[in-house]
Amino acid sequence: MLLFFITMAFKGIHAFKAMADYAQVHYRRFGFPSAPSRKTLRRRFLALPTFLQSFMPELASEAGDLDERFSFRTVFADKSIFRALGGLWHKKHRKQGLVPHRSIDTQASWGKSPYHGWRFGYGLHVVANGFRFPVMACVTTASAKDYHQLLGLLSPIAGGCLLVIADAGYRSIRVIMQVWKSLRIFVLTRSLFKGESPPKRWYNKIAGHVSAAVLYRRRQPSIEPVFSILKELFALKGEEHLPYKGLAKVEAYLLLLTASLQVLMIFNSIHQHPLQATKPFRFALD
């Protein structure tokens, strides 16, 4: 079923009825004994987040044994905001509880993107390694604080991860200490903390070393292209909006895209293609 949904994502088939029509013709190709109904596909699609958030770190761990480029001792964390389907729900209307148009996705929220400014939509938080291989991901509305997601993102990979390098959105001494004490993973952000509390002195001593600055410079070319690849592969560049409304469907869809990139890169490793090549995998799906 996962391969079926990956195929649907690459083909840009989003409506469950269209998926069911495709399955009616091609179900044997996916090992289905019979074509799944639209209702079954919708139910299984909405169940993807629970499955994928355990599947992705397990797949990453197995992939690390296959190819050293998939190891995740050092990872990079970041968030990208994807535009919600439908109209914009301006802040003044949100505060008043007014929904001026029924196309508005009322579960989305506003968040600030470094490249696009304020955007109304959802945030995809990704942890990836230096070869731009996604290891773990989660989805929130755009306004959710980045650092609130760290513990959940890193817990499934705690056995193999030692260091996470993140931008200012993940800069919280309380969360950094919580991650260290719970998972023994050090979170490195760009700036030192002001103040003389013991946790801040401990962090500043490590993060102030010249090697930490060298490590931090690897963040942007490692994690930000992951989002560029996803947006290019699935037609979400620029002002393109998501194909679904509501957190449940958006979460399933964005996690599916991230897992699809994992599968694509592992496929390329096995078949000795460049890791981020897209044509060989697309050809295999056709």
Where are the chain's structural domains? 72-245
Q: How confident is the model at residue 131, as a pLDDT?
A: 95
Let me know: does 83 contact 239? Beta carbons within 8 Å.
yes
**Of how many residues is the chain composed?**
286
Report how far apart, in Å, the C-alpha atoms of 72 and of each of 119, 126, 127, 132, 265 are. 31, 13, 9, 10, 15
Q: Among 83, 1, 90, 16, which residue's Cα sits nearest to residue 48?
A: 1
Q: How confident is the model at residue 93, as a pLDDT?
A: 82
Let me know: does 69 contact 131? Beta carbons within 8 Å.
yes
Q: How confident is the model at residue 249, as a pLDDT?
A: 98
- pLDDT, one tens digit for every residue, the chain (286 residues): 999 999 999 999 999 999 999 999 999 999 999 999 999 999 999 999 999 999 999 999 999 999 999 999 999 999 999 999 998 888 888 887 888 888 899 999 999 877 778 899 999 999 999 999 999 999 999 999 999 999 999 999 998 999 999 988 999 999 999 999 999 999 999 889 999 899 999 999 999 998 898 999 998 888 999 999 999 999 998 889 999 999 999 999 999 999 999 999 999 999 999 999 999 999 999 8
User: Which neighbouring-strand residues pair with 137?
Assistant: 126
| Strands 74-83, 163-166: pairing kind | parallel
Both tokens of 69, joined, read 């480029």
Q: How confident is the model at residue 32, as a pLDDT?
A: 95
Let me know: does 142 contact 110? Beta carbons within 8 Å.
yes
Q: How confident is the model at residue 94, as a pLDDT?
A: 80
- As a whole number of angstroms, the distance between CA 27 and CA 99 comes to 41
Please provide residue 209's backbone torsions phi and psi, each rounded to the nearest 5 degrees. -70, 150
Let me know: does 157 contact 60? Beta carbons within 8 Å.
yes
Q: How confident is the model at residue 97, as a pLDDT?
A: 81
Residue with tokens 């290019």: 232
